[in-house]
Amino acid sequence: MTKKTETKATAENMTARAQELFGDVSGRAKAAFEKGSEYVSQATEFNKANIEALVESGKIAAKGMQEMGQAYASDTRKNFEDVTATMKDFAAVKSPTEFFQLQAETLRKTFDTAVSQTSKNTEMFVKLAGDAFQPISNRVSVAVENVKKAA
């Protein structure tokens, strides 16, 4: 072989090898880009669902607080009516014995009402907290599943 032929063959070999190498790198880069795009898309969808869960949680909390406010207003109105009726009863008392009996009865009713309303309000609040946290809890479950799949 002549030097010129040898140089030409070497150049052709190097060119072929370079094309093969760059073709492989290009294919890998394209695959990595596609995989990265897929991850970004999944992350975007995941975060979108998280935001939707927060919004839903906020709606549930707002509705529950409104219902609790209405219940408090109703209880307050009933308590005011009870106090008004009790004052009328006290105004109609004729003897000290009747006064002390009415006072004891009023104290018992007031205590029972306070316990009942506190219990009802506590139950409403606990239920509201659970209901409002449920969408977030569901998203946490999805996140845990995603971590398990990735591991």
Of residues 30 and 82, more confidence is placed in: 82
Alpha helices in the chain (DSSP H): 3-91, 96-150
pLDDT in tens, 28-47: 777 777 887 888 888 889 88
Spatial distance between the Cα atoms of 26 and 20, rounded to a whole number of angstroms: 10
Spatial distance between the Cα atoms of 57 and 139, rounded to a whole number of angstroms: 11
Reported as a pLDDT band with limits 50, 70 and 90, residue 106 is: very high
Spatial distance between the Cα atoms of 5 and 12, rounded to a whole number of angstroms: 10
pLDDT in tens, 14-23: 777 766 666 6
pLDDT at site 37: 80
Q: Please report the sign of the dihedral spanned by the C-alpha atoms of residue 54, residue 56, residue 60, residue 65.
A: positive
Q: Is the pLDDT of residue 27 over 80?
A: no
Chain length of the chain: 151
Spatial distance between the Cα atoms of 80 and 74, rounded to a whole number of angstroms: 10
Of residues 41 and 122, more confidence is placed in: 122
Of residues 151 and 122, more confidence is placed in: 122
Of residues 58 and 32, more confidence is placed in: 58
pLDDT at site 48: 92
Spatial distance between the Cα atoms of 30 and 24, rounded to a whole number of angstroms: 10
Of residues 131 and 2, more confidence is placed in: 131
pLDDT at site 73: 96
Least confident of 33-47, 70-84, 115-129: 33-47
Reported as a pLDDT band with limits 50, 70 and 90, residue 5 is: confident
